[in-house]
Structure 1
Amino acid sequence: MTAFPTTTRTPRTATRRSAGVPYSFLAPALLLFAAFLAAPIAYTTYLSLRRTQVTGLGLGAGSRTEVWAGLENYTRSLTDPDFLPSVYRVGAYGLIVVPTMLGLALLMALLLDAGRTRVGTFARTAIFLPYAVPAVVASLLWGFLYLPRVSPFADLLHALGITPPDVLAGSGVLWAVANIAIWGGTGFNMIVLYTALRAVPRDLYEAARLDGASDVQIAWRIKIPIVTPALIMTSVFSIIATVQVFAEPMTLRPLSNTISTTWTPLMKVYRDAFTRNDVYSAAATSVVIALATFLVSFGLLKLVGSRAFHQEDRT
């Protein structure tokens, strides 16, 4: 009988193979990240540094060529008279949406966690349901509710002898857009905060009640400090969504004369890219918006994140 040679694996070979196993699991996610996130960002940055050079009358095969522009597109984007007003509008929009939405979400999460209601499942579903409605559909729904000529609320106010306000005119449009975001985003943030509250050991609440603490004191001194990391996370998500607001004002624009094509920075990007056919300026504005989003989010995490997460570790 012929003996077959046996292969032996050295410890170094086995270590190399085991070290490559995590990368094989990460490979699909890394490929998707590179193809659908990193590559578009790199290409957008590349376009922001280019421009079209026109020779002659701009007719013919070689009359339009793409050349290096440096920071010219960024200069044009930042000095555009429509850019800063759009930033101010988004800032005012964020000051309305983020505190109101997170405050309502926290209040509803605390009420549901208190266990004082028998319709907890129905309440959670009803509060979360608006988040499942697409932003375009929600904007159309609220847009027709805002219009005095077709809104049932306007008929009710007329029956009471009250003239309904036109919220889509003047400065009221800012509150109209903010209301749609609050209506749609409160449920998601409530679920995140409520989930964090349900993870808190009930022994802490029982010990506090034995010490004579009321429900309000328990919520203020125990529940809110413990869910602060979740509150910071939802704040970051809400700020990112605020900077990227687009669907609501874009959908309401045909219903209002006060929403311009540059009402928000992303609407300006859309106008430059698809109306003016200036993809280079749109790319530069997109990069500026992305950097601003990163700086604001990173600044918020550095300002309050370490303190909150360290507090969570201590608890």
Structure 2
Amino acid sequence: MTAVPTPARKPRRAAVPYTFLAPALVMFAAFLAAPIGYAAYLSLRRVKVSGLGLGRGARTEIWAGLSNYTRSLTDPDFWPSVGRVGAYGMIVVPVMLGLALLMALLLDAGRTRVGAFARTSIFLPYAVPAVVASLLWGFLYLPRVSPITDALQAVGVTPPDLLSDSWVLYAVANIAVWGGTGFNMIVIYTALRAIPTDLFEAARLDGASDVQIAWRIKIPIVLPSLIMTFVFSLIATLQVFAEPMTLRPLSNTISTTWTPLMKVYRDAFTRNDVYLAAATSVIIALATFVLSFGFLKLVGNRAFNQED
């Protein structure tokens, strides 16, 4: 006779998935959820100073309500930093995704005989940390040490000062494009490789060119991947910090509040106002969520439900 499993084993089996998920859930709670909750808590507090602020009990933390958010939104440095990030994103996102899509289509079309080498070469800048990449590009931007400046001057061309007020936005954007194109290319290229080749063969039998196949077949099919890379790029744009912060010692055109996150850093570690910094951080997080969710809501149904 076959042994019948006892009911006591069923709860054990039901607990197995949660056992495997437990480490990830603990890490998520400890290093993501808890810091976010603590930042939200700090954003609703402030320090009350009694007397000269000396001695025990002279500085106490009290409830502040939404006053920190009001201070953040009315800070004269906040909205100019938002405007710079907006201009930065309008340069970086379309250029980066356009280059990534173009390179993925060229690699998928088989126009290069060194596909593996080309993919690795394009992806390699993404593996370089943002601080290291910013330092490398920063020295290339400096007129006195840049070999690019020497080469242009040798042919009689006067190079622009890329760290000047007129060009620094493009200089920072160039670093982001150089570093992020490879990652987005790999995502799009992977989606292209998953398309059945029968579709391309049928299109060629109908007389379609490579350009028509790319425009009418490949791009519509990989649209979900394009949307995903756009959302990732949008989030990275709103959180830009390493590039301008690293370039700041090389140029006096980048202020301490050049981006919203740089303002958070200044408020927290220079002015020692962690409550205002926490409020600004929460505002940035909410803006990131609203823009990302709004974009997905706007185009998600069309992109991810193409079978309808």
Measured against the shorter chain, the TM-score band is over 0.9
Aligned to 1:150: 145
Aligned to 1:85: 80
Q: Which runs of 5+ in 1 are unaligned?
A: 1-6
Aligned to 1:304: 299
Aligned to 1:48: 43
Offset from partner CA, 1:273-310 (integer Å, 9 cap, x none): 00000000000000000000000100110011111000
User: In the alignment, which of 180, 185, 195 is matched to residue 175 of structure 2?
Assistant: 180
Aligned to 1:196: 191
Letter matched to residue 29 of structure 2? A
C-alpha displacement at 1:170, in angstroms? 1.4
Aligned to 2:158: 163
| Partner SS for 2:305 | helix
Letter matched to residue 102 of structure 1? L
- Calculate the TM-score normalised by the size of structure 1: 0.95
Tell me, yes or no, if structure 1 residue 253 matches structure 2 residue 248: yes
Look at both structures and tell me which one has the larger radius of gyration over its CA atoms. Answer: 1
Aligned to 1:4: none
Tell me, yes or no, if structure 1 residue 214 matches structure 2 residue 209: yes
Tell me, yes or no, if structure 1 residue 224 matches structure 2 residue 219: yes
Aligned to 1:139: 134
Aligned to 1:63: 58
C-alpha displacement at 1:86, in angstroms? 0.2
C-alpha displacement at 1:117, in angstroms? 1.3
- Calculate the TM-score normalised by the size of structure 2: 0.97
C-alpha displacement at 1:8, in angstroms? 8.2
Deviates more, 1:270-279 or 1:154-163: 154-163
CA distance in 2, matches of 1:111, 1:74: 48
Aligned to 1:278: 273
Letter matched to residue 69 of structure 1? A
Q: Which runs of 5+ in 2 are unaligned?
A: none
| Partner SS for 1:61 | coil
Offset from partner CA, 1:185-206 (integer Å, 9 cap, x none): 0000000100110011111100
Letter matched to residue 195 of structure 2? V
Letter matched to residue 171 of structure 1? S
Letter matched to residue 78 of structure 2? F
Q: How many residues align?
A: 306
CA distance in 2, matches of 1:89, 1:198: 37
C-alpha displacement at 1:228, in angstroms? 0.4
CA distance in 1, matches of 2:187, 2:294: 22
Q: Which contiguous aligned blocks of 4+ residues in structure 1 show a shift greater than 4 angstroms?
A: 7-10
Output the aligned Cα RMSD.
1.3
CA distance in 1, matches of 2:296, 2:118: 31
| Partner SS for 1:52 | strand
Letter matched to residue 79 of structure 1? T
C-alpha displacement at 1:15, in angstroms? 3.4
CA distance in 2, matches of 1:306, 1:290: 24
C-alpha displacement at 1:10, in angstroms? 4.8
C-alpha displacement at 1:21, in angstroms? 1.9
Aligned to 1:233: 228
CA distance in 1, matches of 2:152, 2:36: 50
Tell me, yes or no, if structure 1 residue 35 matches structure 2 residue 30: yes
